[in-house]
Structure 1
Amino acid sequence: MKCIRIGSGAGYSGDRIEPAVELAERGGLDYMIFECLAERTIALAQRAKSADPAAGFDPLLEDRMRAVLPACRRGGIRILTNMGAANPLAAAEKVRDIARSLNLTGLKVAAVLGDDVLDRIRAGAYTDDTGRPISRFGERLLSANAYIGAAPLVDALAQGADVVITGRAADPALVLAPVIHEFGWAMDDWHRLGRGTLVGHLLECGGQITGGYFADPGYKDVPGLARLGFPIGEVHEDGSAVITKVTGSGGRVTPATCKEQILYEIHDPRSYITPDVVADFSGVRVEALGPDRVRIDGAGGRPAPASLKVSVGYLDSYLGEGQISYAGPGALARARLALDIVAERLRMTGVQARDLRYDLIGVNALHGDGLSAGAPEPYEVRARVAGRADSLKEAMRIANEVESLYTCGPAGGGGATKSARDIVAVVSTFLPRDEVKTSVHFRVS
């Protein structure tokens, strides 16, 4: 039975680069994916593109491509990535220019367009997932990107693309596309598409499945995390797969690491909705074949949904934040006093803020006072105040009150930081799939 090897070179925008180089040089790959796009990331990228038409793609695109293109070209490894973010065409042009600078001639780079549906959302009467109209954001609306599926990526591969760059494609589609292309699966073979989507879901987060997100000292020990190897999927024509990694690399692939990744960000294992298929993971079988080799089988699928999810980004408000540390005897009491002082100052000076948080990092910042009650008093603690405001100036007033504790607050405060920035938030809506038109554009080095 035919088998292809797909490596995951990144699980998020800022991921490590050297594991991808290791995959390119030693992984024996046919394909490599780079999954680098979060929902809020594309809204930020759209804003960057508005300021500069040549911007709007992943900031590490150039570093990643310079690192892996030579080895991928030598090994015939084809690349698929969503690093195009808000500007896949500019990203493709950048990759072409990088290839030329590396004397890699004849490299065919495809940009997949069509996920940007901002104009349609602005013009229509759409509501978000709470039922409220998208139009309420007005000029604060920054982006609207539909989750497209594997079909246009398959088209790009069929036309000979060596590198395929998308914007908001569904994460598993980066893996599903080469599988469909290599094995000639029909786009309505729901059973196989469900299986391929499972493989994509397993690989999309990079080092999570090789032990990174899994590690918990004393309970789930993982060796070599400082040089964590990224995963490889050996995908067979029937959609079954073996998850592994480069021999000798750090990390671990076990049934447990795979099971955790199967459940990661899954609401209903029987109905994992993607643009390509409604996948069913409820019957998945996980079997250890040997060290760092786990066989995955048993997924299924049902027909794809009639609508596509659209991620809508908008300017929500401004965040002001300040932090300061206290240590030694009485650190907790001094930190609590610091928060009380700031709270009173914000009231006294009339700061217009909402959603204010007063946290003691190391004490109650994650789980609140309820779970932290009765815990041993820490030797050191960091006080944090944060809140939202309707202007950058007002947000900065929150941060300034924390910094003023240097001289106006309890004894021994140090390491104060302050910041104020805008908050880009995301809501979701849906479009009929036939209203999302994709296209493929080539650049050749």
Structure 2
Amino acid sequence: MTDSFLIGCGAGFSGDRTDVAEPLVEALIADGRPSALFFETLGERTLAFAQIRRSDDPETGCEPLLEEILAPVLGRCLAAGIPIVGNFGAANPGAAARLIARLALAAGQPEARIATVTGDEVSGLAGDLSALGLDDRLEGARRLAANAYLGARPIAEALGRGAQVVVTGRCADPALALGPLVHHFGWSWEDWDRIAAGTLVGHLLECGSQVTGGYFADPGRKEVPGLERLGFPIAEVAADGSAVITKPAGTGGLVSPATVKEQLLYEIHDPAAYLTPDVVLDVTGVEVAQVGPDRVAVAGARGRPRPETLKVTVSVDGGWIGEGEISYAGPNAEARARLALEVLRKRCSGIARLRGDLIGVGSVFGDEGGRFLEGRRGTTEDLRVRIAVEDSERKAVERALREVEALLCCGPAAGGGARSAIRRRVNTWSALAPREPIEAAVEVSVRTADDPAGAAPAEASHV
């Protein structure tokens, strides 16, 4: 243990920029203090779609951009002793571990120690969903997955057993940072204030660039320099859990009290009692202060004993969703566009649900029928008609979307630029479940040069 530990975040969601981890690794190596790097790439629907991919092909179901994310930095991190933690295992941590093992071999690190954390998939335990209080919402639906949000303990356990890369499925986002911090500092899991402080660090970093100026800029009000080359965040964490949030030198974006405060309150339902698997976090006494250019100090998190429940998200088949668009421009465009919506609504009367919007007139401040909400009114001579339709049957959605194309000849004058798309729909519902039956498993594997098929299990345990 040392007096401080650095942790960087290289992704805030699946589909995030894949060229941002290299500056982070450069900064961590240049600093020289003990450090770790984590990637947060998992959302509720992200995981459900990963389950669908895995059902189609057992070797898929992990983060689709995993190779693009890790290949540029994996070798350097392994050589420099910088552990990597990521929930890019999604629905198939084993497949992610095998891919990482191949990337490590290609990077000249044939004996990388790669751990997988499983146990979040609780479909078997959730067979009787009455305890979750979701019966009405799930009645008759085809269930795709049920996943519990695991905490940081299995991550810390894996690092304690020498893992250089830890791959998880569904876990609480802050746990990706808390695990390395507990492992490094040796905090007790019942030292609630320190566990809360580490959870706060994870919460501030988990969305990547949102704490360094992403999703923050508002020209003339909140200026962010170099938004096209945003630097992703690094936390310099002290043994007492206090931290300084910063970013790599020379990158775009900014770290200010305002960016930190916005992320501090992001997705927190109760600032005095933010429930996580590891602690109940209280941020009402947190102090935020600028201590240098792009350096903001954060301290004062308080914690209470972890809740007796874990969040479980159940994903079900939501059928199919389709979107179709067509443009109208010039004098009287709005009237022609509204007539097009009327035609579509009548022609698609058999669809389960249809929403119509006039983009540029009422797509944000209108109802599902394209009518303005009270106090909102606009006009334009260049707008886009959009419908969104959903149904349990793909063919019904396809028929509805053909009606958008048919407007080119069968609709109002001067429609053009029609296009459409269709995709599967997943519905997710969340509830709290008792934690006792949910058990995480940690497996640490070693990929050797004479193991061409993949990583061979070395050790396994339950946490």
| 1:362 has 2:360 as partner | yes
Does structure 1 residue 245 correspond to structure 2 residue 247? yes
Q: Choose from 402, 405, 420 the match for 2:407.
A: 405
Offset at 1:75? 2.5
Please list, as runs of the form range in 1=range in 2, the aligned pairs for 1:411-422 lying within 5 A after superposition. 411-422=413-424
2:176 matched residue in structure 1: 174
Residue 36 of structure 2 is matched in structure 1 by 31
Measured after TM superposition, the shift of residue 379 of structure 1 is 3.1
Q: Tell me the distance in 2 between the aligned counterparts of 1:254 and 1:137.
A: 49
Matches within 5 A, 1:364-383: 364-368=362-366, 369-370=372-373, 373-375=376-378, 377-383=379-385
1:48-87 mapped onto 2 (5 Å cutoff):
48-87=53-92
Other structure's SS at 1:324 match: strand
Q: State the secondary structure of the residue aligned to 1:370.
A: coil
Other-structure match for 1:111: 116
Structure 1 CA distance, aligned partners of 2:52 and 2:390?
21
Which residue is 1:332 aligned to? 334
Distance 2:140 2:443 in 1: 32
When normalised by structure 2's length, the TM-score is 0.91
Q: What one-letter code is carried by the residue in structure 2 that aligns with 1:385?
A: I
Structure 2 gaps, min length 5 = 367-371, 448-463
User: Offset of 1:291 from its aligned partner?
Assistant: 0.7
In the TM superposition, residue 316 of structure 1 has moved relative to its aligned partner by 1.8
**Mapping 1:141-156, distance limit 5 Å:** 141-156=143-158
The match for 2:19 is 18
Secondary structure in structure 1 of the residue aligned to 2:214: coil
Using the TM superposition, name which of 259-268 and 70-79 deviates more: 70-79
Cα distance change of structure 1 residues 335 and 346 upon mapping to structure 2, 3 Å threshold:
same
8 Å contact kept, 1:125–1:133: no
Aligned mates of 1:127, 1:253 — CA distance in 2: 43
Between the aligned partners of 2:102 and 2:130, the Cα distance in structure 1 is: 40
How far did residue 46 of structure 1 move?
1.1
Equivalent residue, structure 1, for 2:322: 320
Contact persistence 1:210–1:228 (CA under 8 A): yes
Q: Which amino acid aligns with 2:434?
A: P
Cα deviation, residue 216, structure 1: 0.7
After superposition, the CA RMSD in angstroms is: 1.6
SS across alignment from 1:10: coil
Give me the whole-angstrom Cα distance separating, in 2, the residues matched to 1:246 and 1:64. Answer: 18
Separation (CA, whole Å) in 2 of partners of 1:111 and 1:126? 31
CA distance in 2, matches of 1:279, 1:18: 32
Maintained 8 Å contact 1:127/1:133: no
Residue 279 of structure 1 aligns to a residue whose secondary structure is strand
1:379-403 alpha-carbon deviations (Å, 9 max, x no partner): 3111011122120111112211111
Report if the CA contact (8 A) 2:37-2:84 is conserved: yes
Amino acid at match of 2:15: G
Give the CA deviation at 1:372: 6.9
User: Matches of 2:129 and 2:328 in 1, distance apart?
Assistant: 52
* Structure 2 match to 1:307: 309
- Once the two structures are overlaid, the 10-residue window that deviates more, 283-292 or 364-373, is 364-373
TM-score by length of 1: 0.95
Letter matched to residue 96 of structure 1: A
- 3-state DSSP of counterpart to 1:386: strand
Supply the distance in 1 between the matched residues of 2:255 and 2:39 (Cα, whole angstroms).
19
Seen in structure 2, the aligned counterparts of structure 1 residues 215 and 144 have a Cα distance that, compared at 3 Å, is same
State the partner residue of 1:120.
125
Partners of 1:425 and 1:200 in 2: CA distance:
27
Cα distance in 2 for residues equivalent to 1:12 and 1:411: 42
Matched with 1:184 is: 186
Once the two structures are TM-superposed, the CA of residue 74 in structure 1 deviates from its matched residue by: 3.2
Q: Which moves more between the two structures, 401-410 or 259-268?
A: 401-410
Which amino acid is the alignment partner of residue 26 of structure 1?
A
- Which one-letter code corresponds to 2:43 in the other structure? A
Q: How many residue pairs were aligned?
A: 437
What is the CA–CA distance in structure 1 between the aligned matches of 2:245 and 2:150, rounded to whole Å?
26
Q: Deviation per CA, 1:362-391, whole angstroms, max 9, x where unpaired?
A: 22112211267333x223111011122120
Deviation at 1:211, TM superposition (A): 0.3
**3-state SS in 1 of match to 2:264:** helix
Asked if structure 1 preserves the Cα contact closer than 8 Å seen for 2:10 and 2:20, the reply is yes
Q: Shift of the alpha carbon at 1:130?
A: 5.2
Q: Once the two structures are superposed, what CA deviation does each residue of 1:50-76 show, in whole Å capped at 9, x if it has no partner?
A: 121111100011111112112212322
Q: Displacement, 1:125?
A: 4.1
Identity, % of aligned pairs?
A: 50
- Following the alignment from structure 1 to structure 2, what is the Cα–Cα distance between the partners of residues 58 and 128? 28
Shift of 1:441: 1.1
Q: Supply the distance in 2 between the matched residues of 1:36 and 1:129 (Cα, whole angstroms).
A: 28
CA–CA distance in 1 between the matches of 2:76 and 2:327? 47
**Structure 1 residue 331 displacement after superposition:** 2.1
Once the two structures are TM-superposed, the CA of residue 129 in structure 1 deviates from its matched residue by 5.0
CA distance in 1, matches of 2:376, 2:18: 42
CA–CA separation in structure 1 for the residues paired with 2:24 and 2:157: 25
Distance in 2, matches of 1:169 and 1:20, equals 21
Does the CA-based 8 Å contact 2:131-2:433 persist in structure 1?
no
**In the aligned structure 1, how far is the partner of 2:442 from the partner of 2:192?**
25
Q: Any idea what SS the aligned residue of 2:10 has?
A: strand
**Structure 1: gaps (5+ residues):** none
Q: Identify the residue that residue 230 of structure 1 maps to in structure 2.
A: 232
Moved >6 Å (runs of 4+): none
